[in-house]
């Protein structure tokens, strides 16, 4: 009895390709881990990731990719391309850090897993129809680099967008909420707080009134809605009625429409502070609004099927990680996934100094290598199997219609 003949989408051929890409990633292990640790040791904030973006672009050029750096109007963005035509899979890298706590979101793992996947795919793309593009996307931690790149056409000819994010569990998706960042400024009138307080208009009182109104509003919002903020300017001296006060607030909701409604309720609280105090109010949106994430069900299932190859299993706690990401905006343009890969114990929260330590640990290093293999294998599934591409397109259309 003869073995079944491999065809364009034959399981035997695809299995062989996956073995090849995983072996190629293993061959780059030391270089990838060194790169991850180098980025981790020299954290750079949003839109200032000069070293990280240059290192990643240099690595990809060394792997034979055609590299554009800078790209799409952003000095720290890049695009690295291999192959030609469609289908085209985009693998996304993030590499910005957080103020004071460095890579407490593990973007060094995201970045090096992304370029590691590219290295794994290098020698097989030429045997396939289609192409791979690695996109370096700056400023995820506020700034919306992916949105800027999308507006410049980065995803115009892309069939699927893939990335992984480190966490304390292996999950198919983050519970990513839509978010807007609101800066508020109140302007009052200064006066001597002891000699002539009646002559002043207290801008800080206006902001505190609004802050307390928001605290009361929190009792009456949805389970997937969040409002949190800080006072960034509360005056300069206690014996002077504050003539200026300012704050920064994040408003999150499950969908962009829910966010629009909640944002108006929050702005009503800001206006109440101005009305009560007599201060003038200015509200402005900082950065770009992030959309909720639409994780493509077909792509997520393909990713999940590849987990066993790297010795991982999904954690049965979907929704365990809540946050916001500009990958949400990408997910409404092209079928996308944003799975979480465990590099730390489940009790360790993102955006903490403790998580930053895990991002450069042995478990973090394993996340780099496993993540690279998972992204590469999932990209292969999309490139090789037209049935997967057709199904993910149907799922995408249904998801975007639902919001």
CATH of the domain at 311: 3.40.630.10
Same domain, 72 and 163: yes
pLDDT in tens, 210-243: 999 999 999 999 999 999 999 999 999 999 999 9
Confidence of residue 10 (pLDDT cuts 50, 70, 90): low
Same domain, 196 and 151: no
Tell me what the pLDDT averaged over the chain comes to. Answer: 95
pLDDT at 6 over 60: no
Same domain, 314 and 360: yes
Same domain, 195 and 333: no
pLDDT at 166 over 70: yes
Contacts 24+ apart (CB under 8 A), 197-203: 197/241, 200/241, 200/243, 201/241, 201/243, 201/277, 201/278, 201/279, 202/241, 202/242, 202/277, 202/279, 203/235, 203/242, 203/243, 203/244, 203/245, 203/277, 203/279
Same domain, 46 and 72: yes
Last residue of a domain, one of 257, 290, 323: 290
Residue 6, domain member (yes or no): no
CA-to-CA distance for 298 and 305, rounded, in angstroms? 11
Q: Are 141 and 105 in contact (CB under 8 A)?
A: yes
Nearest to 162 by CA among 382, 395, 396: 382
What's the rounded mean pLDDT across residues 97-120? 98
What's the rounded mean pLDDT across residues 5-27? 83
Confidence of residue 392 (pLDDT cuts 50, 70, 90): very high
Same domain, 85 and 17: yes
pLDDT at 9 over 60: no
Last residue of a domain, one of 290, 308, 340: 290
Residue 247, domain member (yes or no): yes
Query: How many percent of the chain have pLDDT more than 70?
Result: 97
Residue 3, domain member (yes or no): no
Domain count, the chain: 2
Residue 55, domain member (yes or no): yes
> pLDDT value at position 319?
52
Same domain, 171 and 192: no
Same domain, 57 and 154: yes
pLDDT in tens, 171-200: 999 889 999 999 999 999 999 999 999 999
Residue 5, domain member (yes or no): no
pLDDT at 1 over 50: no
Same domain, 159 and 308: yes
Residue 202, domain member (yes or no): yes
Last residue of a domain, one of 246, 270, 290: 290
Q: Are 169 and 340 in contact (CB under 8 A)?
A: yes
Which range of residues forms the domain containing residue 20? 11-175+292-402
CA-to-CA distance for 88 and 77, rounded, in angstroms? 19
Phi, psi angles (nearest 5°) of residue 136: -85, 115
Same domain, 247 and 341: no
> pLDDT value at position 401?
80
> pLDDT value at position 3?
36
What's the rounded mean pLDDT across residues 319-337? 91
Per mean pLDDT, which range of 3-7, 129-133, 268-272 is the poorest?
Answer: 3-7
Residues in the chain: 403
pLDDT at 148 over 70: yes
Nearest to 155 by CA among 167, 175, 137: 137
Q: Which two tokens stand for residue 3?
A: 């073995």
Q: Are 249 and 181 in contact (CB under 8 A)?
A: yes
CATH number at residue 195: 3.30.70.360
Residue 2, domain member (yes or no): no
What's the rounded mean pLDDT across residues 116-121? 98
Residue 270, domain member (yes or no): yes
Same domain, 64 and 167: yes
> pLDDT value at position 7?
46
CA-to-CA distance for 30 and 146, rounded, in angstroms? 29
Same domain, 232 and 259: yes
Confidence of residue 52 (pLDDT cuts 50, 70, 90): very high
- Which pTM value belongs to this model? 0.92
| Dihedral angle computed from the Cα positions of residues 299, 300, 304 and 309, in that order, rounded to the nearest 10 degrees | 40
């Amino acid at each position: 009895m003869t073995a079944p003949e491999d065809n364009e989408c034959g399981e035997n051929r695809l299995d062989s390709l996956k073995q090849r890409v995983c072996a190629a990633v293993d061959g780059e292990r030391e270089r990838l881990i060194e790169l991850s640790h180098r980025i981790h040791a020299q954290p750079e904030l949003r839109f200032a990731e000069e070293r990280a973006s240059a290192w990643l672009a240099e690595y990809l050029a060394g792997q034979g990719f055609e590299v554009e750096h800078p790209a799409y109007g952003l000095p720290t963005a890049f695009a690295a391309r291999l192959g030609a035509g469609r289908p085209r899979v985009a693998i996304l890298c993030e590499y910005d850090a957080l103020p004071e706590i460095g890579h407490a979101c593990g973007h060094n793992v995201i970045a090096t897993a992304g370029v590691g996947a590219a290295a794994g795919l290098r020698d097989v793309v030429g045997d396939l129809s289609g192409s791979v593009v690695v996109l370096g996307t700056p400023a995820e931690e506020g700034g919306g680099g992916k949105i800027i790149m999308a507006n410049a056409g980065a995803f115009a000819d892309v069939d699927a967008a893939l990335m992984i994010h480190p966490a304390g569990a292996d999950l198919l998706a983050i519970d990513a909420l839509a978010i807007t960042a609101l800066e508020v400024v109140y302007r009052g009138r200064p006066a001597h707080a002891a000699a002539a307080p009646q002559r002043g208009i207290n801008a800080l009182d206006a902001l505190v009134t609004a802050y307390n109104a928001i605290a009361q509003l929190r009792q009456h919002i949805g389970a997937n809605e969040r409002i949190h903020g800080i006072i960034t300017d509360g005056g300069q001296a206690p014996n002077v009625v504050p003539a200026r006060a300012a704050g920064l607030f994040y408003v999150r909701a499950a969908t962009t429409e829910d966010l629009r409604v909640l944002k108006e309720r929050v702005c009503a609280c800001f206006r109440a502070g101005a009305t009560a105090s007599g201060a003038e109010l200015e509200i402005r949106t900082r950065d770009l609004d992030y959309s909720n994430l639409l994780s493509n069900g077909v792509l997520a299932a393909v990713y999940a099927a590849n987990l066993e190859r790297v010795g991982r299993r999904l954690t049965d706690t979907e929704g365990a990680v809540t946050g916001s990401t500009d990958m949400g905006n990408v997910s409404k343009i092209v079928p996308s996934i944003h799975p979480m890969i465990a590099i730390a114990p489940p009790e360790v929260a993102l955006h903490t100094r403790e998580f930053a330590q895990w991002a450069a640990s042995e478990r973090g290093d394993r996340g780099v290598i496993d993540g690279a293999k998972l992204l590469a294998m999932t990209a292969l599934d999309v490139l090789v199997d037209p049935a997967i591409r057709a199904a993910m397109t149907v799922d995408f259309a249904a998801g975007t219609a639902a919001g």
